[in-house]
Structure 1
Amino acid sequence: MFLNAAFSIFNNLLVILVTMKYPNLRNPINIFILNLSFSDLLITLCGTTIVISTNYHGYFYLGEKFCIFQGFAVNYFGIVSLWSLTILAYERYNVVCEPIGALKLSTQRGYQGLAFIWLFCLIWAIAPLFGWSSYGLEGVQTSCSIGWEERSWSNYSYLITYFLTCFIIPVAIIGFSYGSILRSLHKVKIEEQGGRSNKEEELRVVVMVLFMVIAFLICWLPYTIFALIVVINPTLYISPLAATLPTYFAKTSPVYNPIIYIFLNKQVRS
């Protein structure tokens, strides 16, 4: 977790500083990338750095209130990152596939998108504070998150709804957007070259998209599967170590998000 925090803080701070330094990077679509880095940095500062200390002590020694704060912060900033990736995919689809009919992404529309992301995600983050599910210790008891191991109908209903709005819908939008982008680019390449496609360039785009989708699934799929297992089979015993792994996978996203979405970007590299 120390290595996770070190790489995450370095990568995301670098993205934020570079974006702030060069005005040409502050275009509407990069607003979402900057937002992604900001929320990923907050995940690390409010979650991972705390876990380093509690892992060292061997238990969550900071008390119940701090546990609730950590669970809320990691949940909130985590789904902000998730929906930033989703809106980013959709806006890229608009730029590539709907250049004429789509509403152009202006700075104002970009900020409206950010407002939607932060307010929408806040609803899901504060719900456990008001009794719909809860925040508590997880796994090996050194970190806190949504109490997805809790066996109650309140928790089950929250997890099912959370699964639909914060996994199924984002995955569907991302899959549709990047799938449409690949088909559109393939069609354009063939038209430009008289029926022949540039296989090398097309392969590069395919690999880039695959990296994005696979990284997204590595981060969120284990967490989702474990939460659904609890709902489907409430009597199943899950060992503390097994219950910890999904949350650690989710905490790796701030490390590889900047690499995939920023450093593989030609404009940012130049």
Structure 2
Amino acid sequence: MMLRTATNAIIINLAFTDIGVAGIGYPMSAASDLHGSWKFGYTGCQIYAALNIFFGMTSIGLLTVVAIDRYLTICRPDIGQKLTTVSYTLVIVAAWLNAVFWSSMPMVGWAGCAPDPTGATCTINWRNNDTSFVSYTMTVITVNFIIPLAVMFYCYYNVSVTVKRYKASNCLDSINMDWSDQMGVTKVVPARITISNQLPMTASSAPLNP
């Protein structure tokens, strides 16, 4: 049995986030690095930072969705098989909308973006260590890093336990799914999490205080 189209849709959306970072973020950063300072002005800085936050947040959200999908497919097939294309569409859209919200907040006054000390990139203004910056950063880290990381750990831990249990009992063949394909995706995604882009706001190693 082929992998469900819904699972493929999540992975395709995840690929678009990588294309966005590679196609928009890296060229601007490389050009500024060669120039020796940020060369795209204030507006370019805001756009660059917003897009990197946007694609980074979307990537984290989609990775969380994939983890939940793997958990339901392998550990709770009774629930996973009941999910419809509409269900998957809604969670994919939610991941993109969540990223839209958090990437737009610095542009409307919650925290702010500025070139980092190297001048090669633009990110959250770490040097403006005020209440707005602290509240935004702490909220984003909680909502878009700690919680997704906890969900992914829970899902993949249970997937690992379930697979080991099935292997020990030699009953993989009795499960109604193509385990070759399913386990292939399940193994690839944790590797994708490992090499995934870091949370955009933590990309700079500059100190909080000037």
- The answer as to whether partners of 1:163 and 1:224 remain within 8 angstroms in 2 is no
2:198 to 207, 216, 219: 219
Deviations 1:183-242 (A, max 9, x none): 01111112226xxxxxxx9xx9997676345335x8349928959x74xxxx5x6xxxxx
One-letter code of the match for 2:129? R
1:39 offset after TM fit, Å?
1.2
**Percent same amino acid among aligned pairs?**
25
What CA distance in whole angstroms lies between the structure 2 residues aligned with 1:126 and 1:60?
Answer: 21
Question: Which is bigger in relative contact order (C-alpha 8 A, separation at least 6)?
Answer: 2
One-letter code of the match for 1:145? T
What CA distance in whole angstroms lies between the structure 2 residues aligned with 1:97 and 1:219?
Answer: 29
- For structure 1, the residue ranges without an aligned partner over 5 or more in a row are 1-23, 194-200, 238-270
Runs (4+) of structure 1 moved beyond 6 Å? 204-207
- The answer as to whether partners of 2:110 and 2:132 remain within 8 angstroms in 1 is yes
Distance 1:33 1:166, change over 3 A: same
Residues 47-66 of structure 1: pairs in structure 2 closer than 5 A: 47-66=25-44
- The answer as to whether partners of 2:61 and 2:95 remain within 8 angstroms in 1 is yes
- The answer as to whether partners of 2:65 and 2:92 remain within 8 angstroms in 1 is no
User: For the aligned residues, what is the CA RMSD?
Assistant: 2.9
Structure 2 residue 153 is matched with structure 1 residue 175: yes
SS at the partner of 2:115? strand
1:116 offset after TM fit, Å?
0.5
The structure that is helix-richer by fraction is 1
Other-structure match for 2:115: 137
What CA distance in whole angstroms lies between the structure 2 residues aligned with 1:115 and 1:209?
Answer: 20
Other-structure match for 1:117: 95
- For structure 2, the residue ranges without an aligned partner over 5 or more in a row are 172-179
Other-structure match for 2:163: 185
Other-structure match for 1:158: 136
What CA distance in whole angstroms lies between the structure 1 residues aligned with 2:143 and 2:186?
Answer: 27
Instruction: Please give the TM-score of this superposition, normalised by the length of structure 1.
Output: 0.65
